[in-house]
């Protein structure tokens, strides 16, 4: 029996289809060689948030394999509007994926245009417990050969996260944080990590992790609330002794972590700053998604 297909639609190279009818060639270099980059974002009030930032990061990463801008922000917005009309009652979880296209001559040659896919699925809200009780995470020490390749690019290769997340699941934890061979923290498998100690918020240096769009938006908000922000090499001792630990990503926004490797963070309850930061960030997303849409004439 065929398993039920996730609900949603996508646009593949300009053609809008139900996800269940979407087809990618097995000769696509994304499939054949694992060459691809992508973005994940969501809508607020039906409008994509930080779309321009996501597209900028996408095209910058796609340049690594010689692909430059395949569509404009205006076109992406129009596709998202069309996809939203098919799913009017829910916010959207959007992925945009780009690969070099179908293999041609040689190992990496292509025989046609690059492949792009824009996927829209109904956004599944996080469980209330995330906001009420906070999250548990684990750390995962990665061997040199297991490290994420191109850590500052959002490539489609998440193979280095497979074992850490399986370990997290087995421990009923939400996320696994990488501890690199030199003992420094980098990020979560699909999130950035932030530590608060006193009025300082610290995040690992930019060269170690994905330059999170959520992170970049959180910084001015945190500073406007009175927190100070720095990028710093962080080790397990910093993590375990933080007053608060937060995860950020476009889908998670910013979420509070209350246990790491079975140790409580602070008193093991959601800290004092997270509710303020989260509320201000949510407000920012709503306002900026509407303002970006209005500026684009959407
Ligand atoms: C490895 C990694 N780091 C960080 C993030 C957070 O990035 P953003 O805030 O741009 O969603 C993600 C998001 O998926 C990720 O996969």
pLDDT on residue 2: 55
Q: Is residue 137 within 8 Å of 247, Cβ to Cβ?
A: yes
Instruction: For ligand 1, atom 4, name the residue with the nearest CA.
Output: 191
- Rounded to an integer, what distance in angstroms lies between the CA atom of residue 167 and that of residue 142? 13
- Where residue 183 falls among pLDDT bands split at 50, 70, 90? very high
- Where residue 215 falls among pLDDT bands split at 50, 70, 90? very high
Average of per-residue pLDDT across 30-50: 97
Residue (of 67, 53, 14, 239) closest to 140 by Cα position:
239
Q: Is the C-beta atom of 250 inside 6 A of ligand 1?
A: yes
pLDDT on residue 297: 82
- Where residue 7 falls among pLDDT bands split at 50, 70, 90? confident
HSE of 58, CA atoms in CB hemisphere, 13 A: 24
pLDDT on residue 66: 96
Q: Is the C-beta atom of 248 inside 6 A of ligand 1?
A: yes
Average of per-residue pLDDT across 31-54: 97
Average of per-residue pLDDT across 228-244: 98
The preferred substitution site among 192, 203, 251 for testing ligand 1, maximizing ligand atoms within 8 Å of CB, is 192
Is pLDDT of 207 > 70?
yes
Average of per-residue pLDDT across 182-200: 98
Map tokens 């809200």 to a residue.
Answer: 125
Torsion of CA 259, 265, 268, 271, to 10 degrees: -120
pLDDT on residue 4: 60
- Would you tell me how many other CB atoms lie within 10 Å of the CB of residue 296? 16
Is pLDDT of 35 > 90?
yes
pLDDT on residue 3: 55
Give me the domains of the chain, ranges plus CATH numbers.
9-122 (3.30.470.10), 128-286 (3.20.10.10)
pLDDT on residue 6: 74
Instruction: For ligand 1, atom 5, name the residue with the nearest CA.
Output: 191
Q: Give the tokens for residue 154.
A: 């959002």
**Would you put residue 274 in left (φ > 0), alpha (ψ -120 to 50) or beta?**
alpha
Average of per-residue pLDDT across 227-256: 98
- Rounded to an integer, what distance in angstroms lies between the CA atom of residue 108 and that of residue 33? 8
pLDDT digits (tens, 9 = 90+) for 13-30: 999 999 999 999 999 999
For the ranges 105-114, 168-177, 186-195, 230-239, the lowest mean pLDDT is seen at 105-114
- Would you tell me how many other CB atoms lie within 10 Å of the CB of residue 275? 12
Average of per-residue pLDDT across 200-220: 98
Is pLDDT of 133 > 90?
yes
Helix (H) / strand (E) element for 160: namely: helix 159-170
- Positive/negative CA dihedral, 206, 282, 194, 198: positive
Is pLDDT of 126 > 80?
yes
Average of per-residue pLDDT across 107-135: 95
The preferred substitution site among 250, 251, 255 for testing ligand 1, maximizing ligand atoms within 8 Å of CB, is 250
pLDDT on residue 283: 98
pLDDT on residue 255: 98
Is pLDDT of 150 > 90?
yes
The preferred substitution site among 153, 175, 191, 254 for testing ligand 1, maximizing ligand atoms within 8 Å of CB, is 191
User: Would the pTM of this model clear 0.85, i.e. be above it?
Assistant: yes
């Amino acid at each position: 029996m065929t398993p039920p297909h996730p609900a949603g639609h996508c646009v593949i190279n300009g053609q809008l289809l139900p996800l269940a009818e979407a087809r990618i060639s097995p000769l696509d270099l994304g499939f054949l060689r694992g060459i691809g980059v992508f973005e994940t974002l969501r809508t607020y009030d039906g409008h994509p948030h930080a779309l321009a930032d996501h597209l900028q990061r996408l095209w910058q990463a796609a340049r690594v394999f010689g692909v430059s801008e395949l569509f404009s922000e205006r076109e992406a917005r129009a596709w998202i509007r069309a996809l939203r009309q098919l799913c009017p009652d829910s916010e959207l979880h959007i992925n945009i994926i780009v690969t070099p296209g179908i293999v041609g001559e040689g190992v990496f040659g292509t025989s046609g245009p690059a492949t792009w896919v824009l996927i829209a699925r109904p956004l599944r809200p996080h469980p209330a417990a995330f906001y009420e009780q906070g999250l548990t995470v684990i750390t995962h020490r990665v061997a040199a050969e297991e490290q994420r390749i191109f850590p500052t690019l959002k490539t489609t290769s998440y193979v280095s996260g497979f074992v850490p997340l399986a370990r997290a699941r087995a421990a009923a934890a939400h996320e696994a944080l990488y501890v690199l061979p030199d003992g420094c923290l980098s990020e979560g498998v699909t999130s950035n990590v932030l530590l608060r100690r006193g009025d300082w918020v610290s995040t690992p240096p930019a060269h170690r992790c994905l330059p999170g769009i959520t992170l970049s938006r959180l910084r001015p908000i945190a500073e406007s609330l009175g927190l100070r922000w720095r990028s710093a090499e962080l080790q397990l001792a910093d993590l375990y002794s933080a007053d608060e630990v937060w995860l950020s990503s476009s889908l998670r926004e910013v979420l509070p972590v209350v246990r790491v490797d079975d140790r409580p963070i602070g008193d093991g309850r959601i800290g004092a700053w997270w509710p303020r930061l989260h509320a201000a960030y949510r407000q920012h997303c709503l306002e900026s998604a509407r303002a970006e849409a209005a500026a684009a004439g959407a």
